[in-house]
Each structure stands twice: as structure tokens, then as C-alpha cells.
């Protein structure tokens, strides 16, 4: 038997190779920026980013944001693109009356952003986008969301919120390369609390929805639970309280009230306005979702809330005070059926396990929101113009 000996070549790295390795190490340790790494290595910044991504030194998530042209979804898109310099965001949205590409206008030329018009029920298109964009994370905001509309006609609510969620779960099941699917839901699935009741819902409380909207959302959430149990799909469900902030459709309470007052019209309130909600500034919600997306546990459910409970009348009076109007500049209209008295969530789980907590007080949040609507009257007018039927559902 002959033994072949292959002489080992000495590992002599070129000065260029050495500089690139050094730059990579310093960059990865967080000591220098990509520009500084580019200066050290002598490699152009974009090319260096590509090299670092290829070598796994830069983590680049490719996130499909379903319903990303809506209120919370678009805020989430802005948040991710701003916070993470390398993440890719792909929006998939049907553009219903609630979807608005204007919400994404400021990112439309960002090379890390792309938009596809599509329905979450349509699995073929969904799969095409997932394959083409090499998606590894999905966050689903796509839903029919307006309670009053659900009382006038529930078909679309069941179709999108239940069948659409099923379609997403089946799609995630088909692609093991998808690392996580965060499905956004609402506090309304737990049902109603009495005004004086000293209780906030926990994640394992039973669902007791009272209107078609929350029943349809509960349906989607239950499917997520079953798909985790039966097929080990990496899904997380979140339940959040009322959001407010930029880009919220003017049919919802806060923007509607603001816009009416700005146009010298009284705020309209259902019933006596004693209904209590917990009000979370939308950016705090986006931060919570981002934390869950990166650090949450598959199969878990997380409540998200501000612990800022105010009645609808309190909110109206706050807006009137901030806009310098009398506190009785309000018209009371008939209450809507199934108008739950109070929602409240316990958020001990997310605060303890993921160290998330809300950062924006209701006072600050409402001022930021007023400022945004005052600076974006054109946005509101265009949204109202596009949705002529809106006043019917307020
Ligand atoms: N707004 C709140 O206060 C609040 C509170 C708690 C939970 N949530 C939940 O957060 C999510 C987002 O709420 P939002 O207020 O941003 O809603 P929104 O109505 O502003 O936006 C929904 C988006 O989904 C899109 N969409 C609807 N049906 C679709 C379909 N079949 N396929 C693809 N896209 C579709 C719409 O075009 C729109 O862009 C919802 O799941 C809602 O239940 C909202």
C-alpha cells in the first residue's frame, strides 16, 4: 500500500484578506459601523454588506407583512425599515377600503421594500410571493377590522379572518424555511368585562366574542392553536387592546373625533360613552410585535396593552381640551348592538418573559396623534374621498 502525502500549503493571507477579516470581526463585535468596515477593508460599502450577509455575519430577515397597507401594518413596516438596516420587508395586501398605499409612500423607493397586491385567501399568489422573495418570517395584520361594518355584513369578516388565516397557516406548513409566523389578534376575543369588575384577561382565558368581528378573529386564533398542536407550525398569536396613532382610518374613534373637531363639528359618541377601552400608541404595539417576532416562543400567546384605560367619553373630552373646545361639543347617537362595556388585558407575561413595556403615555400619544393629523389633512381627505360609504359605519 502506498501512502500519498499531500504537502500542506502555508495559509498566507493577503493584506487585503487580512483587512477584510479584521473589518468583519470589528463590525460583528459592534465596534465599528459598516462605513468604517468599508474604509478598513477597501471594499465598497454595498458589496461589503453583501459579503457579510452571505457569510451570515449580518442577519437579514425577509419579512412578509400581510395587511401592511393598513393602519398598524404600515406603522410596522416603517418601524422595521427604520430600526433594522438590513431587513427586507415585503408587503402583501389586498387593498380593501382600509388598505392605503399612501401609508407607504415614504418607503416606496427603499430598495429593501416591495409591495404585492394580493389576497391572503389566495394561496397560489401567496406562495408565488414567498418563493420569489425567499420569505423567512410572516406577520399577519390582514383582517377585516371594523366592528360596525361587521354588523352590517359579516361574509368578508369570516372569509378573511378565518379562511385567510387558514390559508396562511397551511402556507407556513408547506414551507419549513419559514421560521416564524406572528398572527395579530385582538383583546375583543375574550369578550366583555363589567365596568367595576376588578379583572383583566389572561392569555388562557376562554374566548367569549360578542360581535361578528371578534367571533371571526377568535376563529382564526383557534385555527392557529390547532395548527401548532397538530402540525407544529411555528406560530405565535398576539392579543392587543385599542391602538391609536398615525395612518388610522378616519372611521375609527380617535381620528374621526379629531377630524370632526378640526372641521368645527361636534364629536359623535355611541350610547352614553361610558365604554372603557385600553389605549395603546401604535409604535408601542409595533415594538411589542418586533420583540415577539425575534424573541418570542413558538406556540405561545401574548397579550399586549398599555394599561391606559379610559372611557370613550374621557377620550373625547381629552381631545376637546387639547384642541381648545368646550367639553360638551359632543353629539350622542344610538348605541351600536354588542358594544362591549370594557376590555382589559393582563400583560404580566410579555413584560416578564420578553421585557416589553409600553413607553408612550396616553397624554403624549394623543398629542403626537393630533399633530400628525393636523400635518396630514390631505391624507385624511383622500382616504375619505376613496371611501364614500364611510359615514354609514361611524
Ligand atoms: N386597530 C386596532 O385598534 C387593533 C387593536 C387590536 C388588534 N388589532 C388587529 O390588528 C390587525 C390590524 O388592524 P388594523 O387596525 O391595522 O386594520 P386595518 O383595517 O387598518 O388594515 C387591515 C389591512 O388588511 C388588508 N386586508 C384586508 N383583507 C385582506 C385580505 N383578504 N388579504 C390581504 N389583505 C387584506 C387591508 O387592505 C388593510 O390594509 C387586525 O388583525 C386587527 O384585528 C387592531
Containing 280, the helix (H) or strand (E) segment is: strand 276-281
Q: Is the CB of 242 under 6 A from ligand 1?
A: yes
pLDDT number for residue 33: 92
Cα of 113 to ligand 1 centre, how many Å? 19
Domain map of the chain by residue range?
Answer: 54-245+279-308+339-361
What is 96-146 written as a DSSP string?
-TT--GGGGGGGTT-TTEEEEE--TT-HHHHHHHHHHHT--EEEE--S---
Catalytic site positions: 187-188, 213
| Main-chain dihedrals φ then ψ at residue 106, nearest 5 degrees | -70, -10
What's the pTM? Answer: 0.92
Alpha carbon distance 222, 143 (integer Å): 15
Cα of 328 to ligand 1 centre, how many Å? 32
Q: Is the CB of 95 under 6 A from ligand 1?
A: yes
**Residue to probe by mutation, ligand 1, list 71, 154, 358, most atoms within 8 Å of CB:** 71
Identify the three-state secondary structure at position 312: helix
pLDDT number for residue 15: 84
Q: Is the CB of 121 under 6 A from ligand 1?
A: yes
pLDDT number for residue 393: 53
In the predicted model, residues of the chain with pLDDT beneath 70 are 1-13, 387-394
pLDDT number for residue 3: 46
Q: Give the atom of ligand 1 at the shortest distance from the alpha carbon of 95.
A: 37
pLDDT number for residue 67: 98
Task: State the chain's maximal CA–CA distance in angstroms.
Answer: 102
What's domain 54-245+279-308+339-361's architecture? 3-Layer(aba) Sandwich (3.40)
Q: Give the atom of ligand 1 at the shortest distance from the alpha carbon of 142.
A: 24
**Residue to probe by mutation, ligand 1, list 98, 188, 252, most atoms within 8 Å of CB:** 98
What is 10-35 written as a DSSP string?
P----HHHHHHHHHHHHHHTTSS-HH
**Is residue 101 packed enough to be buried (19+ CB in 10 Å), middle (13-18) or exposed (0-12)?**
middle
H helices of the chain, where? 15-28, 34-41, 45-54, 71-83, 123-133, 147-152, 155-158, 165-174, 212-231, 253-262, 282-295, 312-322, 348-353, 362-375, 377-386
Amino acid at each position: 500500500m502506498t501512502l500519498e502525502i499531500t504537502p500542506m500549503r502555508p495559509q498566507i493571507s493577503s493584506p487585503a484578506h487580512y483587512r477584510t477579516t479584521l473589518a468583519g470581526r470589528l463590525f460583528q463585535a459592534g465596534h465599528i459601523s459598516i462605513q468604517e468596515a468599508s474604509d478598513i477593508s477597501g471594499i465598497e460599502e454595498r458589496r461589503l454588506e453583501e459579503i457579510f450577509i452571505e457569510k451570515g455575519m449580518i442577519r437579514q430577515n425577509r419579512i412578509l407583512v400581510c395587511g401592511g397597507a393598513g393602519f398598524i401594518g404600515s406603522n410596522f413596516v416603517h418601524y422595521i425599515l427604520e430600526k433594522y438596516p438590513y431587513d427586507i420587508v415585503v408587503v402583501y395586501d389586498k387593498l380593501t377600503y382600509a388598505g392605503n398605499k399612501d401609508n407607504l409612500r415614504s418607503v416606496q423607493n427603499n430598495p429593501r421594500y416591495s409591495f404585492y397586491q394580493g389576497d391572503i385567501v389566495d394561496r397560489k399568489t401567496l406562495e408565488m410571493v414567498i418563493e420569489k422573495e425567499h420569505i423567512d418570517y410572516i406577520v399577519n395584520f390582514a383582517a377585516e377590522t371594523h366592528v360596525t361594518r361587521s354588523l352590517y355584513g359579516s361574509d368578508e369578516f369570516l372569509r378573511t379572518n378565518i379562511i385567510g388565516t387558514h390559508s396562511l397557516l397551511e402556507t407556513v406548513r408547506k414551507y419549513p424555511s419559514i421560521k416564524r409566523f406572528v398572527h395579530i389578534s385582538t383583546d375583543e376575543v375574550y369578550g366583555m368585562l363589567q365596568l367595576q369588575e376588578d379583572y383583566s384577561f389572561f392569555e388562557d382565558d376562554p374566548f367569549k366574542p360578542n360581535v361578528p368581528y371578534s367571533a371571526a378573529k377568535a376563529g382564526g386564533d383557534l385555527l392557529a392553536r390547532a395548527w401548532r398542536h397538530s402540525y407544529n407550525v411555528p406560530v405565535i398569536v398576539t392579543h392587543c387592546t385599542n391602538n391609536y396613532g398615525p395612518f388610522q382610518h378616519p372611521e375609527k374613534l380617535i381620528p374621526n373625533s379629531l377630524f370632526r373637531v378640526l372641521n368645527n363639528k361636534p364629536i359623535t359618541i355611541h350610547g352614553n360613552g361610558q365604554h372603557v377601552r385600553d389605549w395603546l400608541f401604535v409604535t408601542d404595539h409595533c415594538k411589542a410585535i418586533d420583540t415577539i417576532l425575534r424573541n418570542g416562543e413558538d406556540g405561545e400567546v401574548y397579550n399586549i396593552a398599555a394599561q391606559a384605560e379610559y372611557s370613550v367619553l374621557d377620550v373625547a373630552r381629552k381631545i376637546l381640551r387639547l384642541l381648545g373646545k368646550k367639553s360638551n361639543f359632543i353629539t350622542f347617537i344610538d348605541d351600536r348592538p354588542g358594544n362591549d362595556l370594557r376590555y382589559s388585558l393582563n400583560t404580566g407575561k410579555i413584560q416578564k418573559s420578553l421585557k416589553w413595556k409600553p413607553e408612550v403615555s396616553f397624554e403624549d400619544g394623543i398629542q403626537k396623534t393630533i399633530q400628525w393629523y393636523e400635518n396630514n389633512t390631505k391624507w385624511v381627505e383622500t382616504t375619505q374621498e376613496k371611501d364614500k360609504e364611510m359615514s354609514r359605519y361611524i
